[in-house]
Amino acid sequence: MKASALKEIRLLPPLAISRLGSAAEPVNNYNLVIPDDQPLGYRDIVPAPTLVVDQASGKITKREALPVTFKDEQGRIRPVAPFLELWGSTGGDEWVHLTESDVKGARIRWRVRVANIKVFRRTGDPRDRVEADSDWFHDHSRHELRGNAHNFYAGKYIPLGHIQFIDPTRGFPEIRARFTPAGGYVYGSNPFVQNADGTYAVDPAFGGYIQHDLNIRDVVYDPAKGKWLGYDEIYPPNQPGPPDATIPGQIFAGQANAKIDGSWVSRGYLDDECDGTVEVELTIGTKTLSSFARIGAGPPAFAPDSFPIRTVYDELEQALLGPEVGPDDYTIEELQAETEEIIRRAFETIRLMNTTIMNGNAFQGKVDVASTMVRQDRGDAERAFEPIMAPTIVDNLADRTLHQNIFATLRSGAPPWFMSVLRRFDEIGDLTDLGRRKMPGLMRNADGRYLCLTRRQREKIRLASQRLVSPQEERRAK
Amino acid sequence: MRSRLSRHLQSILREDSTSPGLDISAKMLKRGFAAPLGVARAETQPAPISPELNGHQYAVFLLHVAAGIEHALMAQYLYAAYSIGGAQVPPDLREMVERWQEVILGIAKEEMGHLITVQNVLRLLSGPLNFDREDYPFDAAFYPFDFTLERLTLDSLCKYIYAEMPPDWTTPPAAEVKKRAIDASRGGPLHAVHELYDLMIKTIADASLVPDEYFRPETVKQQASWSEWGRGYAHGARGSSLQGDRPKTPDLIIRAVSSRAEAVAALKEIAVQGEATTPEMDQLSHFKRFLDIYEEWQKTLKHHKRFDPARPVVTNPIVEDSLGPEPPPKLSSSAADRNVITAPVTFYWAHLLNVRYRLLLSGLDHALHLAGVLEDTSQPTARGDVITMVFSEMYKIRSIASVLVQLPVRPDTPPEKAAAGPPFQMPYTLDIPQSEDDRWRWHRDMLVASQHILDVLAVMESDERRRGYVAALRESDADFMAVIDRIIARYAKQEVTV
């Protein structure tokens, strides 16, 4: 292919989600495989070919399956650092991953702009936006993404990760860049621990000395410029919350000021998560083609062999394909497999839950011992504090077994029968006994109310339920 | 030992079984207890109640009969529902037939709720629980019709309508349905369930028959509650979840009862759920829901003469302990006959179903012997675990039944001609051991037996999907045996909360 023949370019994948980690080496590539002999078991983490990058030169030195560990020898978490590949088309539907020879004579340049606007979301002060811009570059060195904000101390910034244009070689001639996220650190506004009323906490080990804040990596935010340290998000009792508050509110590191009802005072912390775009431009003579992809940094996966019941993938699939499923979109076998996967993820999720506590059961005679939907129902809607399920039936192991049995039943080819207990998207605020007991159970969605499956997930199960003729019968009849 | 109900059934059997319900006043009921010798009885009066019973015992006896009926109805409805489907259902009718299946499964679930509520009333009245039911050969004449596991046909449907019909149902198609039901029962006596419930309600409501001292409100903590057993099924949950807004169905009735008034109310509620004749309940009763299917079926036949919603599953399938060398009798569709499953793989699946059915029944019995402790459930309760086991077994029965209805009953006959079905054979005993830890060992025994069957199926079963199910079931059983071991260990350390 000649560069001059290119009509369009794309940066793929269009959305790449990295995971924070402070180890020097990212996690090696792997696949999750359900073991044949243990259909209910944990997914095996099977090493897959990994591209190894020499950070100094920006060159890929090898591609091979390597052992998978999630922490390095010092116990630091390995980040997940995605590659973004440059693909091109000369017209039509055929797309290829462009190589160095494909773009010979062309000029390629990159730019990354990311931001962390969590504090701005609370304070509304644009000077609290933490933003980084790599500016255009075309070399192969690592470019640090320095997150700056007007309300930071002069010269201070939050490292939000790196971007590197991989130097193509004869062995690995493809055009790609790699985003490596930040280390997952907390940054602050004060080197010392400040109480909600503005006084300082005394160090318990050295009475009389004030206590250093050991959570933070660096003090970057200037409390004289911005109001984040000591920012109080007040939810007055028995009154509506602030109109622009998140649901649930007060979800930042803070402490209550005992003198003000419903107060939640910020400790002035910031983190190094971010999201934004990677842009690429390819110039051939006077023609410039461009594309971009979105990147984000999320927390590490602490249960990498499990999937949650609802993931970003499900959201994207619904956004892309819509909430409805047509009768010919999937075969019977595919619908059954999709349903099995959703139920597998349900018991994988339960494996990570303390269902007894999340149900609002008393613990050693004490009630309301954790942040649960029970507490939230009371806080949001003044519902009586009452466990969600009957307290006797929420043993974690038994619940897991029950869900595994549902999965096993589906394995037999029996169509799903539990549609009526699946929470619909418009039932997330139903606080009746029946409404609270629907599935998925005991969990909160990002909207602050009970988690439900995406409409598309639910539709798949519904269509899988409508099966009067088994695949075997269908085959025999044909 | 199985209940020997028929010994005392004379008093509630009537010769004219097609007449409206038993209108018996409390006064008449009291007079029904066997009088001293020489006191004559009018021809129209029911037979006297056995001199071996007093009022309380009679109430318990009736509740035992009711439990047996609910259990038998549940098994028969489940069998009929599982038979529904197959490639012979025309594609344009599948949505309707799926709905029928969901409706009948829903009614079976409600019978399960009735069965559990009747146990709660037995607990309240300090009577023994009863999870037994009549089996083959059928000998309890008060049952609505001979216990027959059969596929859904217009004939079997008419029997279900008859069993659930209100006493005053005379509007069309009452005559044809009644005739068809009686013909399908070989002209034998049929009874509507409401007759029994009427009698039971009148007996329990009468303080002179069942004095206050027999009512034990403290048993509520051992009774089943909707919170534990309802599993989120309620209005509209059955027959209406697949295809949008169908007419609503009633709640799954599981009532804990603590007084005479509550017991009577619960039994009335069950009776109404069956026959439900009032206009506001019109769409909700079993009777009406079965009748809707009947009418829809008749309409369908006008355009699809050979319409058949069910697979060709045999009537009354059973499985014997071993496959003998002699050829079994020919397959029979008569309700009086049983059809022995002899296809080798099917043989093991049928045994698997029986052992899981037994585990379900012993789990149910066990659960209602354990008190719920609600004050502090920071550690798992044995009651919670056994309830979980019961639900798990329901799911397994569902899947094994789905497998069986697609398997041959005989090695030389393809399932498209004659398929097997879930045999639901009653175990040699329903009694469970006395001590708590032994009860768990009892359940574990059945899981071990099940593992042996699964080991065989893992080798014999050739269908890939069913092999996958066998593997999943083995693993799931192994997990649950670990739960049981944990519970037994806690009993050993005296840590358990019951």
Given a cut of 50, is residue B240 above it in pLDDT? Answer: no
Q: Which residue did the predictor score with more confidence, B137 or B363?
A: B363
User: Is residue B6 very low, low, confident or very high in pLDDT (cuts 50, 70, 90)?
Assistant: low
In what helix (H) or strand (E) does residue B382 lie, and over which residues does it extend?
A: helix B382-404
Cβ–Cβ < 8 Å for A269, A223: no
- The residue written with tokens 């130097």 in the block is A167
3-state secondary structure B117-147: HHHHHHHHCCCCCCCCCCCCCCCCCCCCCCC
Interchain pair B469, A402: CB under 8 A: no
Helix ranges, B259-325 (H)? 260-275, 286-303
Interchain pair B238, A420: CB under 8 A: yes
Residues of chain A in contact with residue B95, where contact means CB-CB under 8 angstroms, are 466
Cβ–Cβ < 8 Å for B443, B365: no
Q: Which residue did the predictor score with more confidence, B305 or A468?
A: B305
Can you give the pTM of this predicted structure?
0.82
Q: Which residue did the predictor score with more confidence, B282 or A405?
A: A405
**pLDDT averaged over chain B?**
82
Q: What is the DSSP string of B443-458?
A: HHHHHHHHHHHHHHHH
Residue of chain B nearest A358, judged by CA positions: B378
SS3 B158: helix
Residue-level pLDDT at A158: 98
User: Is residue B335 very low, low, confident or very high in pLDDT (cuts 50, 70, 90)?
Assistant: confident
Query: What percent of chain B has pLDDT above 70?
Result: 77
Residue-level pLDDT at B460: 96
Residue-level pLDDT at B45: 54
Beta bridge partners of A12: A85
Which of A 377-416 lie inside 8 A of B, CB atoms? 389-402, 404-414
Residue of chain B nearest A412, judged by CA positions: B469
Residue-level pLDDT at B237: 39
Residue of chain B nearest A411, judged by CA positions: B469
- The residue written with tokens 């109080």 in the block is A232
Residue B216: C-alpha distances to residues B62, B122, B227 (Å): 18, 10, 21
Q: What is the ipTM of this complex?
A: 0.76
Q: Go through A444-470 and write b for each residue having 16 or more CB atoms within 10 A of its CB, e for each that does not.
A: beeebbbbbbbbbbbbbbbbbbbbbbb
A393 → closest Cβ in B228, B236, B375? B228
Tokens representing B387 are: 């309830």
Interacting residues of B132 by C-beta distance below 8 A, sequence separation 6+: B2, B3, B67, B68, B71, B426, B430
Q: Does A370 touch chain B (CB under 8 A)?
A: no
Given a cut of 90, is residue B111 above it in pLDDT? Answer: no
Question: Which contacts (CB < 8 Å, 24+ apart) does range A428-433 have?
Answer: A428/A452, A431/A377, A431/A381, A431/A383, A433/B227
Determine the average pLDDT of the residues in B418-440. 93
CA distance B480 to chain A (A): 7
CA atoms lying within 13 Å on the CB side of residue B289:
29
Q: Which range, B267-271, B340-344, B379-383, is most confident?
A: B340-344
How do residues B172-222 score in pLDDT, each as one tens digit? 899 999 999 888 877 565 666 777 888 899 999 999 899 999 999 988 888
Q: Which residue did the predictor score with more confidence, A415 or B81?
A: B81
Determine the average pLDDT of the residues in B300-324. 93
Residue-level pLDDT at B140: 52
Residue-level pLDDT at B183: 85
Residue-level pLDDT at B244: 42
Residue-level pLDDT at B1: 39
Residue-level pLDDT at B373: 54
Low-confidence residues of chain A: pLDDT under 50:
none
Residue-level pLDDT at B125: 94
| Optimal mutation site among A405, A462, A473, interface B, most CBs of chain B within 10 A | A405
Residue of chain B nearest A419, judged by CA positions: B241
Q: Does A367 touch chain B (CB under 8 A)?
A: no
Residue at B296: amino acid letter: E
Interchain pair B463, A364: CB under 8 A: no
Interchain pair A356, B377: CB under 8 A: yes
| Window from A33-37, A137-141, B108-112, B374-378 with minimum mean pLDDT | B374-378
| Optimal mutation site among B395, B397, B398, B495, interface A, most CBs of chain A within 10 A | B395
Strands A287-298 and B317-318, bridge-based pairing = unpaired
Q: Does A334 touch chain B (CB under 8 A)?
A: no
Strands A275-284 and A287-298, bridge-based pairing = antiparallel
Interchain pair A413, B466: CB under 8 A: yes
How do residues B464-496 score in pLDDT, each as one tens digit? 889 989 999 999 899 889 889 988 888 887 765
Interchain pair A402, B388: CB under 8 A: yes
Interchain pair A399, B380: CB under 8 A: no
Residue-level pLDDT at B17: 41
Q: Which residue did the predictor score with more confidence, B310 or B395?
A: B310
Given a cut of 80, is residue B14 above it in pLDDT? Answer: no
User: Is residue B352 very low, low, confident or very high in pLDDT (cuts 50, 70, 90)?
Assistant: very high
